[in-house]
Amino acid sequence: MKKLKTVVSWSSGKDSTLTLLRLLENSKIEVVALLTTHVGESIPFQATPVDVVKEQAKAVGLPLILQELPEVFPSNDIYQSLVVDAIRCCGLDVEAVAFGDMFHNGIADYRRSYIEPAGWQCIFPLLGEKPLDLAQEIIQRNIKTFLSTVDTKHLDGNFVGCEYDSSFLNKLPDNIDPCGEDGEFHTLVYDAPCFDFQLSLNKGEVDRKGRYHSQQISINSN
């Protein structure tokens, strides 16, 4: 049976990792690459250095398609054209693009609006599932991750750098989505069942300037 050649939108965090794991287990899907957009040398929101994303792709054993954005929030036209061009020019046979979105908030229709006219299917393995169920699945699957950024408007900045585990979920205020899907926090994965090796990372200081607190991260070269 012919498998659907799929690129996974890769943020460096837990949602994209769970998406990848599910697709790797799907006999109808062949994951051919990861796709990451970045601004300068880091991933917006996650604050993950591009070098760390490259190390993740190496651990997963998949090609990484990188597309730089001119700013964190470019216009829709610019963002969409850059993403489409990056996939078209990657040199791989691509038939679908997968995203780790969870909520029925219009995001799926937005993704389809520029992916499908380019000739590819859109896949949403996590869409519509309960955030708490997904959070527990992430932990049970042994996806090792920590909070890389926190929006202090919604969550205490002292959570930055904390492991995403059952203890963390138990400490979360009731009004915070357990997957941070409303932007309360973002994560960085350093190990998972789909990784050939665990990333060796150095945690530096926490940048606490402004509303968004972020963990400074670098690859341990030793």
Domain holding 73: CATH number? Answer: 3.40.50.620
Sign of CA dihedral 74, 81, 7, 56: negative
Whether residues 87 and 196 fall in one domain: no
- The rounded distance, in Å, linking the Cα atoms of 57 and 62 is 6
Other CB atoms within 10 Å distance of the CB of residue 214: 24
pTM of the model: 0.96
pLDDT of residue 105: 83
Whether residues 93 and 139 fall in one domain: no
**Tokens standing for 154?**
């919604």
Q: Quick one: which of 17, 9, 4, 3 has its CA closest to 194? A: 17
pLDDT of residue 45: 87
Structural domains of the chain, count: 2
Residue that is last in its domain, among 123, 153, 177: 123
Domain hosting 47: range is 4-123
- The rounded distance, in Å, linking the Cα atoms of 209 and 152 is 11
Whether residues 115 and 141 fall in one domain: no
Q: What phi, psi does 115 have (nearest 5°)?
A: -80, -45
Residue that is last in its domain, among 123, 141, 174: 123
- List per-residue pLDDT tens for the chain, 222 residues long: 789 999 999 999 999 999 999 999 999 999 999 999 999 999 988 999 999 999 999 999 999 999 999 999 999 999 999 999 999 999 999 999 999 999 878 899 999 999 999 999 999 999 999 999 999 999 999 999 999 999 999 999 999 999 999 999 999 999 999 999 889 999 999 999 999 999 999 999 999 999 999 999 999 876
Whether residues 105 and 143 fall in one domain: no
Whether residues 116 and 138 fall in one domain: no
Q: Quick one: which of 221, 214, 216 has its CA closest to 199? A: 221
Residue that is last in its domain, among 69, 91, 123: 123
pLDDT of residue 208: 95
pLDDT of residue 159: 97
Whether residues 29 and 115 fall in one domain: yes
Whether residues 9 and 117 fall in one domain: yes
Whether residues 114 and 179 fall in one domain: no
Whether residues 93 and 164 fall in one domain: no
Whether residues 214 and 173 fall in one domain: yes
Strand, coil or helix: 143: coil
**Tokens standing for 181?**
């899907």
Whether residues 139 and 99 fall in one domain: no
- Tokens 């287990």 belong to 25
- The rounded distance, in Å, linking the Cα atoms of 188 and 197 is 15
Strand, coil or helix: 66: strand
